[in-house]
């Protein structure tokens, strides 16, 4: 597995090795010992995941920007069908990159995985007709602890890949205005 840095040092991309031939392909998407070695190579401890989720979203669905306030979750995101634009926003008070964001196209085709550490808000926009996303979490989902930041918060300025005439499809929760306080 290859480790790829992003513009925010703690948000990482992983590229699994893929073995393909005329029959199809095989790839190992997660191995704790491999993650231990890759994280050790950058001087940190690998996360331990306790929960895995599967999400399906239709084209133009935008989910997020979600985070848990007192029980933050790290997430390892991968797409098994379709394509998304995945975003992480640094919410760690005192961080040099507080309020900054990083985005990456993740797809079944490019097979990239994005690790978003605890202390970040997460969101994504579905670019294909639909997308199936699997993500591992470092802590359990706690609905009473969940918060969100508006997907279009001008203080963050995410450049979502949406045509000017297209409005994303949002849940009621994600439609409520909630701005990042600096």
Cβ–Cβ under 8 Å, residues 181 and 125 = no
Which domains are assigned to the chain?
48-172 (2.60.120.10)
Residue 125, pLDDT > 60, answer: yes
Task: Select which of 100, 115, 122, 135 is catalytic.
Answer: 135
Task: Select which of 66, 100, 115, 141 is catalytic.
Answer: 66
**Mean pLDDT rounded to a whole number for the chain:** 95
pLDDT in tens, 12-27: 999 999 999 999 999 9
- pTM, two decimal places: 0.93
pLDDT in tens, 60-87: 999 999 999 999 999 999 999 999 999 9
Is 135 a known active-site residue?
Answer: yes
pLDDT in tens, 141-176: 999 999 999 999 999 999 999 988 999 999 988 887
- Going from the C-alpha of 164 to that of each of 61, 95, 126, 156, 161, the distances in angstroms are 15, 33, 16, 19, 9
Is 140 a known active-site residue?
Answer: no
């Amino acid at each position: 597995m290859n480790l790829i840095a992003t513009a925010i040092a703690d948000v990482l991309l992983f590229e699994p090795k893929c073995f393909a031939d005329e029959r199809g392909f095989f790839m190992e998407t997660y191995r704790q010992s491999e993650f231990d070695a890759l994280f050790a190579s950058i001087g940190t401890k690998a996360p331990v995941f306790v929960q895995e989720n599967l999400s399906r979203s239709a084209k133009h669905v935008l989910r997020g920007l979600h985070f848990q306030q007192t029980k933050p979750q790290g997430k390892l995101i991968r797409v098994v069908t379709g394509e998304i634009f995945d975003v992480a926003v640094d919410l760690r008070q005192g961080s040099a990159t507080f309020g900054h964001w990083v985005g990456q196209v993740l797809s079944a085709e490019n097979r990239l995985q994005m690790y978003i550490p605890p202390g970040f808000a997460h969101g994504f926009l579905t670019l294909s007709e639909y997308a199936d996303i699997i993500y591992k979490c470092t802590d359990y989902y706690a609905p009473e602890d969940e918060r969100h930041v508006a997907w279009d918060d001008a203080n963050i300025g995410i450049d979502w890949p949406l045509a000017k005439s297209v409005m994303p499809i949002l849940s009621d929760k994600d439609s409520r205005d909630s701005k990042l306080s600096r």
